[in-house]
Structure 1
Amino acid sequence: MPHRPNRTVLLGLAALSLLVGAGVAWAATGRERSLAVYPAQHMPLRFDHAQHLEAGAECVTCHDAARTSQSPKDRNLPGHEECETCHDIDAARKGKPTDPPSSCTTCHPGFDPTVRMEPAKLLVPPANLRFSHQQHVEKKVDCTVCHGEMKDVQLATRQQLPKMATCFTCHDGNVASNTCKSCHPTEASGRLRLTFDSGLLRPMQGNPLGLDHGPRYEFNHGPRATVDRLTCQQCHSESYCQTCHDGMQKPLSVHPNDFITLHPVQARAGTTRCESCHRAQSFCVACHERTGVGMDADASLRPRNLKVHPDYQAWVEIIGPQHHGIAASRDIGSCISCHREESCTSCHSSLSTRRQVNPHPAGFAQACKRLAGANDRACLKCHTPESLAEKGCR
Structure 2
Amino acid sequence: MRGRIKPERIARVVISFALASIVLSTGCALLLKTGWLPDRFPSYETHHYSHQLHIKEVGLDCDFFFFSIWESNNANEKHTPPMETCLLCHYHKRQFNEKDCQNCHIVPEAKIPQVLTALHFSHEQHLGIAGMEESCDVCHVSNLTSTRQKDRNIPNMQICLNCHYHDEQYQNLQCLNCHTDMWSIGLKPLSRFSHKGNFLRDHKHYAWSQTEVCAQCHSQDDCMECHADNSDELTRSMKQHGRVNAAFIHQPDYLSRHFIEARNDPSLCITCHRPSYCETCHRAHGISDIAGQDQRADSPHPRGFADEFSPNFHGQIARREIANCASCHDQGADSICIECHATYNDNINPHPKGWTSDKDMFRDRPCLYCHVQE
TM range (shorter): 0.3 to 0.5
TM-score (norm: length of structure 2):
0.35
TM-score (norm: length of structure 1):
0.33
Higher gyration radius (CA): 1
| Relative contact order, higher structure (CA 8 A, sep 6+) | 2
